[in-house]
Structure 1
Amino acid sequence: MNRSEALEIVKESIARVIPDPDFTALGPDDAFRDALEMDSLDFLGFVEALSERTGIRIEDEDAPELTTLSTSATFLIAHTT
């Protein structure tokens, strides 16, 4: 998986729990939970969607690596190679 594919998967997973997210206002290192006003249930839904989409088992301790578009993409790349 390359970085572009990983970013697209992250965005698709966010879009499954947040209707019409505005990614144009979201930088790669911005905390998307704050920027997109995701509550804890939304974030859990995002993690589940990401796991389903990729087949990667995501543990609770992985959550800090899933806070920005950039770190989420890096996490996916690291766990698919």
Structure 2
Amino acid sequence: MSPAEIRDEIIDILSEIAPDEDLSNLNDEQSFREQMELDSMDFLDIVMELRKRHRIQIPEDQYGELASMASTVKYLEPKMADI
């Protein structure tokens, strides 16, 4: 997947987890938690959805890599290159 496709996939996951959030003005450099009403369970839902959809395992000690859209795309790009 390209970075743009990964971003679109993350937007899709976020729209399912937080359907009331306006994701059209999401700042890719700012953390999700600063921009959205996400709690730790919502964050785990993102991780679980990535596992379910793409069989991507994200170790708990690397969850911090998914703090913002930019860092998430950068982290997932090599893991999703063959998808």
Matched-pair identity in %: 27
Residues 65 and 71 of structure 2 are in contact (CA less than 8 Å); yes or no, is this contact kept in structure 1?
yes
- Tell me the amino acid that sits aligned with residue 63 of structure 1: Y
Paired residues of 2:15 and 2:23 also in contact (CA < 8 A): no
1:1-80 pair list within 5 angstroms: 1-80=1-80
Equivalent-residue separation in structure 1 for 2:77 and 2:62 (angstroms): 14
Q: Which amino acid aligns with 1:22?
A: D
CA contact (8 A) 1:32 1:69 kept: yes
- Output the amino acid matched with 2:21: P
Greater helix fraction, Structure 1 or Structure 2? 1
Residues 36-79 of structure 1, C-alpha deviation per residue, up to 9 Å, x if partnerless?
11011111111111221221111101211101111111111121
| SS of aligned partner of 1:24 | coil
Identify unmatched segments of 5+ residues in structure 2. Answer: none
Give RMSD over aligned pairs.
Answer: 1.3
TM-score by length of 2: 0.86
Q: TM-score, normalised by structure 1?
A: 0.87
Unaligned runs of 5+ in 1: none
